């Protein structure tokens, strides 16, 4: 009797941006995102994500430098807009991965995926320069088949599917919308695998949604930030990372 191969492991990338948000609220040095990084790694994070925004509203340039120095062999995923300034910084920091994201000054958080269809020509040189420097390029895209296909023509080895619309539908109790959005994620993840693109997901995930999305076998990494930092206020970062890890493992076991 033939046995199905188990799904690949599911990595947890902890996004520590909002530790910096809290620090910046008072303008001092506490809480230090680098301390959060070390604790997250000790508690089961497989990688660390940080987004250096143009307005430096949370992570700052020296955070990225300190983070890279402190993180050791753990992969650092540098979220960045496709701008010359960010490219220069990424080439200096040399993170394991760079996730290209859209950025608008007025948004509270990354509201949607990259315009990989309309912005194709703009993105190609960024993806190739980062790739040439040995940085694994990921594109943060909407969970849509045409976006995955466009990502391939841009030459990115990785896509991260924006899970925000699905998570919002779940939190809002809109079951029909949630089912539709989850199906879009499933189909996009499947298409990514068919095209040989590694598939990640992120934005808005909680224990409950991480458990569900973990069952999609083509997704091999989840990047989670706001919920983890928010929950850490109540139970501490170590506990939160451990509980998230357990939720993901539980969901994966159902794949």
**Residues that bind ligand PXP in the complex, under the rule CB under 6 A:** 15, 17, 51, 79, 99, 101, 109-110, 140, 160, 202-205, 223-227
CB of 140 to ligand PXP, least distance (A): 4
3-state DSSP helix/strand/coil percent for the chain, to nearest 5? 50, 15, 35
Q: How far is the CB of 3 from ligand PXP (least distance, A)?
A: 34
Select 6 or 56, whichever has its Cβ closest to ligand PXP: 56
Q: Is 107 a catalytic residue?
A: no
Sign (positive or negative) of CA dihedral 80, 48, 113, 24: negative
- Is 79 marked active-site? yes
Of 181, 203, 221, 231, which residue is the catalytic one? 203
- The residue among 1 and 25 lying less far from ligand PXP, judged by its C-beta, is 25
Write down the H helix ranges in the chain. Answer: 17-26, 33-42, 61-71, 84-93, 120-132, 145-154, 164-171, 175-194, 207-213, 226-235, 237-253
DSSP 172: T
| Residue carrying the six token digits 């492991």 | 9
Of the pair 68, 203, the CB lying nearest ligand PXP is at: 203
Q: How far is the CB of 5 from ligand PXP (least distance, A)?
A: 28
Give the catalytic positions in this structure. Answer: 51, 79, 203
């Amino acid at each position: 009797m033939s046995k199905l191969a188990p799904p690949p492991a599911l990595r947890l990338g902890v996004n520590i941006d909002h530790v910096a948000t809290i620090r910046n609220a008072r303008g001092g040095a506490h809480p230090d995102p680098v301390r959060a990084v070390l604790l997250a790694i000790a508690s089961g994070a497989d990688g660390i994500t940080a987004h250096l925004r143009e307005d430096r509203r949370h992570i700052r340039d020296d955070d990225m430098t300190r983070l890279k120095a402190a993180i050791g062999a753990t992969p650092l995923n540098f979220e960045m807009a496709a701008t010359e300034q960010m490219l220069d910084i990424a080439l200096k920091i040399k993170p394991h991965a760079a996730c290209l994201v859209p950025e608008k000054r007025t948004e509270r958080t990354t509201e949607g995926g990259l315009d990989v269809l309309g912005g194709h020509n703009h993105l190609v040189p960024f993806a190739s320069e980062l790739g040439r420097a040995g940085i694994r390029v990921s594109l943060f895209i909407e969970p849509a088949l045409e976006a995955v296909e466009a990502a391939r023509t841009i030459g990115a080895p990785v896509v991260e599917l924006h899970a925000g619309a699905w998570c919002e539908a779940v939190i809002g109790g809109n079951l029909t919308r949630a089912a539709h959005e989850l199906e879009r994620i499933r189909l996009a993840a499947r298409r990514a695998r068919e095209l040989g693109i590694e598939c990640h997901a992120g934005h808005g995930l909680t224990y409950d949604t991480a458990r569900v999305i973990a069952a999609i076998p083509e997704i091999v990494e989840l990047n989670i930030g706001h919920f983890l930092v928010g929950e850490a206020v109540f139970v501490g970062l170590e506990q939160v990372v451990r509980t998230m890890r357990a939720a993901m493992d539980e969901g994966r076991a159902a794949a």
